[in-house]
Amino acid sequence: MLHRTFFIQKEAVFMKYKDTLNLGKTKFPMRGSLPKTEPERQAKWYQNNLYQQRLTQNETKPHFNLHDGPPYANGNIHLGHALNKITKDIIVRYKNMTGYYAPYVPGWDTHGLPIEQQLTKAGYDRKSMPKAQWRNLAKDYALEQVDKQREDFKRLGVLGDWEHPYLTLQPEFEAAQLRVFGKMAGKGYIYKGAKPVYWSWSSESALAEAEIEYHDIDSTSLFYANRVKDGKGLLDDDTYFVVWTTTPFTVTASRGITLGPDFEYSVVQPAGEKRKFVVATELLPQVAPKFGWDAWETLATYKGQELDKITAYHPWDPEAEELVMNADHVTLDSGTGLVHTAPGFGEDDYNVGSKYHLPIIVTVDEKGYMTAEAGPEFEGKFYDDITGLVINKLQDANLFLAKEKITHSYPFDWRTKKPIIWRAVPQWFASVEKFRQEILDQLDKVNFYPGWGKKRLYNMIRDRGDWVISRQRVWGVPLPIFYAEDGTAIVDEQIINHVAQLFEEHGSNYWFEHSAKELLPAGYTNEHSPNGEFTKEEDIMDVWFDSGSSWNGVLRQRPQLDYPADLYLEGSDQYRGWFNSSLITSVASYGQAPYKNLLSQGFTLDGKGNKMSKSLGNTISPLEVADQMGIEILRLWTITVDTSQDMPVSKEILKQVSESYRKVRNTLRFLLANTSDFNYEQDKVSFADRQAHDQYFTVLLNDFVKEIRASYDNYQFNDIFKRLINFVNVDLSAFYLDIAKDVVYVEAPTSPQRRSMQTVFYETLLALTKLLLPVLPHTAEEVWEYLPNETSDFAYLSEMPVVQDLGDTSAMMADWQAFMKMRTAVNKALEDAREAELIGKNAEAAVTLYLTQEQKDVLTRLGLNARLLLMVSQLDLKDASQADEASRDYDGLQVTVSHARGKVSPRDRMYHEDLGADSAFPELSKHEAEIVREFYPAAVSEGFE
RNA sequence: GGGCCUGUAGCUCAGCUGGUUAGAGCACUGUGUUGAUAACGCAGGGGUCACAGGUUCGAGUCCUGUCAGGCCCA
């Protein structure tokens, strides 16, 4: 047996030329099988507590705190979530690898209407159970959603403190939120008012937009006149404003007439009329026939703004007055250009009314019946049944002009299918007006990415009204407000903090499970409650107040976090949302913005630039991408696009991204394969001792590191992609790695030329792996497993490459630029020769260059091996004056290409004129023979096959 | 209707303060290799810079308007 084995081995020793080459070797696969390997790799991260390990390693470093904006805990994650979380992960990973302690605490927004709706859908009836029970159901549902989304976010490769997220329903969060509310209350920013909401009389409840559906209905619209009371010298008191309404019952609460400031209004006297009427000039021809006006005389015209603050009489109520106002919502589409305005019954009406300080009159009760305030003849009647009565009243006063049936879209309660009305109900407000300038001043100190974000947020804060913070709902944080016996509201910071303490210990359900007395501090008295009786507010807070308090609920709670945060990063819809509410509460409480930097992202669109929606069927699920292509592809996609704007995504686009991924992956593989016999610590060659082309590439790499880091620092992620792909394709693949084969494969394993190049290979590999890690963590970690000399267990535990000081390389690089132009010229010449079938591959060519003095100087100064860099077998350099007819000019370089002289070596596949110089190796060049003799002595005795 | 933003090759993006024939990578075509091989090299084709006016000696780059698209309001 032994003999036999020996015999076989001996026969196998018979060498091939290939065996004397250093062909690259690696098991790093060309294809990543990402959908399969990513989850395994992620499991490893969590088994090894990678997130915490990195933080522990950074414990003493300066903090960088990205504060997570809480996604809503409902539904499957979509591309927007993925983009947001991935970008955050990129930033956090980068910061942790560049000298910062950068924790990431994910959060969820867990209160609010959509969750209540899910319960309703699931068949629960809110009104059939106590509030606390309903809230427990909501809580269970929210926690389930959090668990589901958490798993999905982890699948994106996002590293964070997933075991300790913040949830807006956590008692400590709710307590912190109440304390923010308390601070604002203490400063007098919280007040009670009234505001119209969608009111469903059929379910006796306020509704949200989501609970409304629209149907076409027929309504009776009325035209009637309001007699001028104080015409401010412009209008006589026998002049009448002609107004229009589609909701006759609201005339009972009419307090104003709204005009368009820039529209022209005519004062006209119809033929046979003593009275004068004001109508928008443009609409006069349309409305006159309705009023039976055949002819009229125009007495004057005014702009809407000129008539501002003139007053008129209410049609029948002597106590009331109608104020002329101006607002942009008035249109000339229909009516008269003068809009009857009842601030208690419409949003536009409310808005313009509050600007002019009109009272808010509500003449309909919660069941839809007119109140006493509407007047004795209306009281107790259903709002929709009084149109005839209103017409009668107007006719009695000789103010009625016309009625008209109109068909229009009208909101309905989606559950009861009954129409709804706008109706003002008591609401709690947070004043913005009182400290608007302070907010704007603090906003000015924030850095915005992109810069226009500042303008956008600034305009919103500048133009927004006070914040309605109450909601007539159940699933949320209760408003910690009490009422005394006479109805006086008790909004007291100390009491609020007392309630906060209770919430911190018991959770906010405590509010619903206990009486006002139990919730108030022991022994609390108030002059408005002589009998010591109190009631509590039943409304809850707007969920934007929840998330808007996260700087207090999270940043100021957790020791590893900081307030203000270094960075908030969300979609551009959050200028209205979280960016906005967080800013208000933070400035109100502590006089500063909760963030130093604000980064906003656009929305994902389909391949055609249209919005993604389920109904259009153009959505792409991030989890599907993960399962089909790998999450690395989606992560890479996030840096191919300009995230400051809206971003197109489609299967085709992702396909293109995956091609880029493969290119990067293959390049890493090539570098791995050709450094597998290289030990950086032992074999590295110093910059000064490197070959000219290796020095050149070292500089390219150094510039690359510098630029990529700058792009990370400035959150310019698509610059990273551009630069990366260019570096990999142009600098590495098409140039350096291409010429490298003639060195790395062919030269002696330990030769200085080879070691010089391997040094640069290794540095490149290491730098690329680290620089890519924030974007492609799975791939980077995979590469890391093939780098036995790197001691840390994970690539993520290593530090980003730093920019080296290589001295002044500008002159050298200018020369290289000149040489690379010459190389391009030679490539064209070679291509022509190939087309002429003079050569096949470059190695079959002998090239002669006829150089100008300047070109010669470049080559001399660089001291490079031009033949190697041009990848030809022979290169002859001559003076430009020697150029003959055979040569051709390529972009200023005279070139002649001919077939290479001599014979081709089977080993390096180049042509040589000295084959067989070493008689032992008749087919090898002298240089090759030396290598083989020294490193493969067996070949001398055995020969080649 | 308002605030903010976008519209450059098939795709994703560069084009700074206006100045020679508008760039890159991918994709595409041709071709060479077969020692990065379900890979790699080389060369090449491809754009009325959304449209229409205007300012200027000169505009993708400034101004106005139109169209298309997005977010947030109304």
* Nearest residue to B30 via alpha carbon and C1': A835
Q: Are A772 and A795 in contact (CB under 8 A)?
A: no
- CA A45 to chain centroid: 26
Q: Which nucleotide is nearest to A653 (CA to C1')?
A: B11
C1' (B29) to CA (A29) span, angstroms: 31
User: Residue A428 phi/psi, 5° resolution?
Assistant: -95, 140
Axis crossing angle, helix A493-506 with helix A171-186, rounded to the nearest 10: 180
Tokens 């690539």, residue located:
A795
- Which runs of consecutive H residues, i.e. helices, occur in A263-383? 284-287, 347-355
Taking the C-alpha atoms of residue A736 and residue A742, their distance in angstroms, rounded to an integer, is: 11
Per-residue pLDDT of A482-491, as tens digits, reads: 999 999 999 9
Q: Which nucleotide is nearest to A640 (CA to C1')?
A: B12
Q: Are A853 and A903 in contact (CB under 8 A)?
A: no
Per-residue pLDDT of A879-911, as tens digits, reads: 999 988 889 999 899 999 999 999 999 999 999
Residue range A243-270: average pLDDT? Answer: 82
DSSP codes, A115-135: HHHHHHHTT--GGGS-HHHHH
Tokens 């109520």, residue located:
A317
Q: Which nucleotide is nearest to A660 (CA to C1')?
A: B26
C1' (B59) to CA (A329) span, angstroms: 39
* Nearest residue to B7 via alpha carbon and C1': A609
C1' (B38) to CA (A864) span, angstroms: 37
C1' (B20) to CA (A890) span, angstroms: 21
Reduce the DSSP state of residue A599 to 3 states and report it: strand
Q: Which nucleotide is nearest to A726 (CA to C1')?
A: B25
C1' (B25) to CA (A59) span, angstroms: 40
Taking the C-alpha atoms of residue A101 and residue A569, their distance in angstroms, rounded to an integer, is: 18
C1' (B11) to CA (A887) span, angstroms: 40
C1' (B39) to CA (A1) span, angstroms: 42
Amino acid identity of A644?
Answer: S
Q: For residue A333, is pLDDT > 80?
A: no
User: Residue A229 phi/psi, 5° resolution?
Assistant: -105, -60
In this structure, what DSSP letter does residue A383 have?
A: G
Taking the C-alpha atoms of residue A725 and residue A721, their distance in angstroms, rounded to an integer, is: 6
Q: How far is CA A643 from CA A64, A126, A640, A779, A809, in A?
A: 21, 42, 9, 23, 35
* Nearest residue to B6 via alpha carbon and C1': A645
The enclosing H or E element of A478 equals none
Q: For residue A6, is pLDDT > 60?
A: no
Copy the structure tokens of residue A487.
């109805």
* Nearest residue to B26 via alpha carbon and C1': A656
Q: Which nucleotide is nearest to A842 (CA to C1')?
A: B32
Per-residue pLDDT of A492-545, as tens digits, reads: 999 999 999 999 999 999 999 999 999 999 999 999 999 999 999 999 999 999
Mean of the per-residue pLDDT values of chain A: 90
C1' (B45) to CA (A175) span, angstroms: 67
- Which runs of consecutive H residues, i.e. helices, occur in A412-551? 436-443, 452-463, 493-506, 509-513, 516-519, 543-547, 550
C1' (B20) to CA (A491) span, angstroms: 73
C1' (B54) to CA (A399) span, angstroms: 53
C1' (B26) to CA (A631) span, angstroms: 20
User: CA angle, corner A767, sides to A763 and A771, nearest 5?
Assistant: 175
Q: Are A296 and A270 in contact (CB under 8 A)?
A: yes
Taking the C-alpha atoms of residue A281 and residue A263, their distance in angstroms, rounded to an integer, is: 8
pLDDT of residue A275: 83
Q: Which nucleotide is nearest to A30 (CA to C1')?
A: B39
* Nearest residue to B68 via alpha carbon and C1': A609
Q: Which nucleotide is nearest to A450 (CA to C1')?
A: B5
Whether ipTM tops 0.90, in short, is: yes
C1' (B61) to CA (A716) span, angstroms: 22
Q: Which nucleotide is nearest to A637 (CA to C1')?
A: B12
The region of weakest confidence among A5-19, A358-372, A742-756 is A5-19
Q: Which nucleotide is nearest to A452 (CA to C1')?
A: B4
Q: Which nucleotide is nearest to A21 (CA to C1')?
A: B35
Q: Which nucleotide is nearest to A740 (CA to C1')?
A: B36
Q: List residues bridging with A903 in a β-sheet.
A: A912
Question: Strand B positions with any atom < 7 Å from protein CB?
Answer: 1-6, 10-14, 24-27, 30-44, 68-74
C1' (B44) to CA (A842) span, angstroms: 19
Residue range A576-589: average pLDDT? Answer: 96
Q: List residues bridging with A845 in a β-sheet.
A: A899
Provide the whole-model pTM.
Answer: 0.90
Taking the C-alpha atoms of residue A175 and residue A466, their distance in angstroms, rounded to an integer, is: 24
Q: Are A240 and A399 in contact (CB under 8 A)?
A: yes
Most confident of A207-211, A270-274, A596-600: A596-600
Per-residue pLDDT of A733-782, as tens digits, reads: 999 999 999 999 999 999 999 999 999 999 999 999 999 999 999 999 99
C1' (B62) to CA (A579) span, angstroms: 33
Per-residue pLDDT of A69-122, as tens digits, reads: 999 999 999 999 999 999 999 999 999 999 999 999 999 999 998 999 899 889
Q: Is A239 exposed, middle or buried (0-12, 13-18, 19+ CB in 10 A)?
A: buried
User: CA angle, corner A321, sides to A317 and A326, nearest 5?
Assistant: 140
C1' (B17) to CA (A808) span, angstroms: 29
Q: List residues bridging with A259 in a β-sheet.
A: A326, A338
Taking the C-alpha atoms of residue A891 and residue A872, their distance in angstroms, rounded to an integer, is: 20
Tokens 């509410």, residue located:
A581
Closest CA to A459 of A434, A435, A439: A439
Tokens 């959090």, residue located:
A146
Q: For residue A4, is pLDDT > 50?
A: no
Q: Are A718 and A641 in contact (CB under 8 A)?
A: yes
C1' (B42) to CA (A907) span, angstroms: 23
Three-state secondary structure string covering A299-322: EEEEEHHHHCCCEEECCCCCCCEE
* Nearest residue to B34 via alpha carbon and C1': A841
* Nearest residue to B70 via alpha carbon and C1': A646
Q: Are A559 and A414 in contact (CB under 8 A)?
A: no
Per-residue pLDDT of A407-451, as tens digits, reads: 777 788 777 778 888 888 888 999 998 999 999 999 999 999 999
A419-447 burial: b if 16+ Cβ within 10 Å, else e: bbbbbbbebbbbbbeebbeebeebbeebe
pLDDT of residue A945: 75
Q: Are A666 and A728 in contact (CB under 8 A)?
A: no
Question: Which residue spans within A400-494 are E strands per DSSP?
Answer: 400-413, 421-430, 447-449, 467-468, 470-471, 482-483, 489-490
Q: Which nucleotide is nearest to A31 (CA to C1')?
A: B38
